[in-house]
A = this chain, B = another copy of it.
């Protein structure tokens, strides 16, 4: 792959500063960029980018002066994404069922499906067109997987779960493990059957070693366009809305209902049986324990409005000083009282 700056500018709707005929053969970050590469920069990284080895830099069109060949665009990150896709095309996977795969004769495979070595597809499962399943993945009975979905190695999808189209499931993820439901009788925990399933809608991404438990009855649901990172836990009967972000190591307790466009930052969580409104953001390590209205920005545990949390944190930092002040007040007051 080789492109001139002029060609790239046309692709990303940008304007070239410097020799438009410069050719680039790769696209990477500022630190790794060599003389054949193009990179991108936004403030505060513009100075660093100006001194890097790259042939050219994609920068915001609001930047006035820049000392290297550049392509100015409205959104450098987006242009960079476009070039990443262009310069590193998806690895070609040959369709077909590997001879070591074990596919039930009652399973249905769409056109151009790739089922790799040692994969197991159980009875009545259905796999849509162009879907790719890597080695050591287990697809349970009666599972439905949509088209153009990508399932990496060592994934488990238990019986009756539904996976949409253009979904990506990373290695080690477990879809449809039993919810954690017990009833205690005379001090012993008796298992409540978990007979529901998991529904993952279209365009969802599920991170490595993430666990999505099946519902007790009904469905645990991840709605379309939501992206879930690694080592996340969704308990039984959780519903996550559309276009959410659940960042790594987040855990959502049972029956929580999460709106659309909600972000849970890393290592955050949520209590169960509550409702989170649309467009909420939970800071890293926060966790709500009550319903949260739409458009809220919360932090801390128990989660409170981010501004309140900042104020409390600042106040905690001042506590030793406050203790001194109180001691001082007591002394001065005592002196006045003894006058």
Contact = CB atoms under 8 A, between A and B. Distances in A.
A292 interface: no
B229 A231 contact: no
A269 interface: yes
A329 B310 CA distance: 24
A293 B98 CA distance: 53
Interface string A108-119: 000000001110
For chain A, give the interface size range.
35 or more
A284 B271 contact: yes
A154 interface: yes
B135 A120 contact: yes
Contacts of A207: 177, 180, 211
Contacts of A156: 152-154, 171-172, 208
Given A136-B138, A230-B211, A319-B312, A170 B159 contact: no
A46 interface: no
Contact of A208 (B100, B174, B190, B318): B174
Contact of A315 (B84, B154, B205, B319): B319
Interface stretch (A8-16, A17-25, A63-71, A245-253): A245-253
A253 B227 contact: no
A329 B134 CA distance: 69
B247 A248 contact: no
A315 B323 CA distance: 8
A37 to B, nearest CB: 9
A185 B315 CA distance: 39
Nearest to A329: B329
Given A248-B235, A312-B316, A326-B322, A183 B77 contact: yes
11 contacts: A77-B192, A85-B193, A138-B171, A156-B172, A230-B233, A251-B266, A319-B319, A326-B326, A333-B333, A336-B336, A336-B337
